[in-house]
Amino acid sequence: MNGIKKNITIKNQIPNFLLKSKSLKKQVKESSVLIKDIFENVDDRSDNFSFLSKNFKLNFKKSDLKRFQKFNTVVVIGMGGSVLASKAIYSFLNHKIKKKFIFFDNLDEINTKKILKSKKIKDSLFIIISKSGNTLETIANVNLLNIKNFNKNNTIVITEKRNNAIYNFAKKRKIFFIEHKKFVGGRYSVFTEVGMVPAFFMGLKIDNFRSNLKKYFKINKSFLINSVSKISQIYSQKKFSSLVLLVYCPHLKEFIAWVQQLMAESLGKKNMGLMPIISEAPKDHHSLLQLYLDGPRDKLFYLISGDSPFNLKIKKNYFEYNYNFLKNKKMKKILDEQKNSLAKVLNRKKIPFREVIVNKLSEKAIGELFAYFILETVLVGKILRVNPFNQPAVEEVKILTRKKLF
The pLDDT tens digits of the residues spanning 154-173 come to: 999 999 999 999 999 999 99
- Asked, for residue 135, whether it belongs to a domain, the answer is yes
Is-contact 383 30, C-beta < 8 A? Answer: yes
Last residue of a domain, one of 208, 235, 266: 208
- pLDDT of 2: 60
Q: What pLDDT does 248 receive?
A: 97
Q: Is 46 helix (H, G, I), strand (E, B) or coil?
A: coil
Out of 177, 208, 239, pick the residue that ends a domain. Answer: 208
Residues 164 and 143 occupy one common structural domain:
yes
pLDDT at 44: 79
In a domain, 48, yes or no: no
Q: How long is the chain?
A: 406
Contacts of 58-66 with CB under 8 Å at 24 or more apart are 58/192, 58/193, 58/196, 58/206, 59/178, 59/179, 59/180, 59/181, 59/192, 59/193, 60/178, 60/193, 60/197, 62/200, 62/206, 64/176, 65/156, 65/197, 65/200, 65/201
**Phi-psi sector, 228: left (phi>0), alpha (psi -120 to 50), beta:** alpha
Task: Give yes or no: residues 24 and 74 share one domain.
Answer: no
**Are 137 and 228 members of one domain?**
no
pLDDT of residue 300: 97
> Does a structural domain hold residue 383?
yes
Residue 123 belongs to a domain with what CATH number?
3.40.50.10490
The reply to whether 70 and 163 lie within a common domain is yes
**Are 323 and 215 in a shared domain?**
yes
Residue 2 lies in a domain: no
**Do residues 271 and 176 both lie within one domain?**
no
- 256 residue type, one letter: I
Q: What is the pLDDT of residue 5?
A: 65
pTM for the model stands at 0.95
Q: What is the pLDDT of residue 53?
A: 87
Shared domain check, 287 and 185: no
Last residue of a domain, one of 208, 227, 260: 208
**How does pLDDT run across 33-86, given as a tens digit for each residue?**
999 988 887 887 788 888 998 889 999 999 999 999 999 999 999 999 999 999
Q: How many domains does the chain have?
A: 2
Range of the domain at 375: 8-38+211-392
404 phi and psi angles, rounded to 5 deg: -70, -35
Amino acid at 340: N
Ranges in the chain, pLDDT < 50: 1
Residues 6+ apart with CB under 8 A from 5: 359
Same domain, 139 and 224: no
Separation CA 61–CA 113 (nearest Å): 34
Residue 39's SS3 state is helix
Q: Which residues are within 8 A (CB) of 73 and not within 5 positions of it... i.e. 6 or more apart?
A: 99, 100, 101, 102, 120, 123, 124, 125
d(CA 30, CA 50): 22
> Do 385 and 335 share a structural domain?
yes
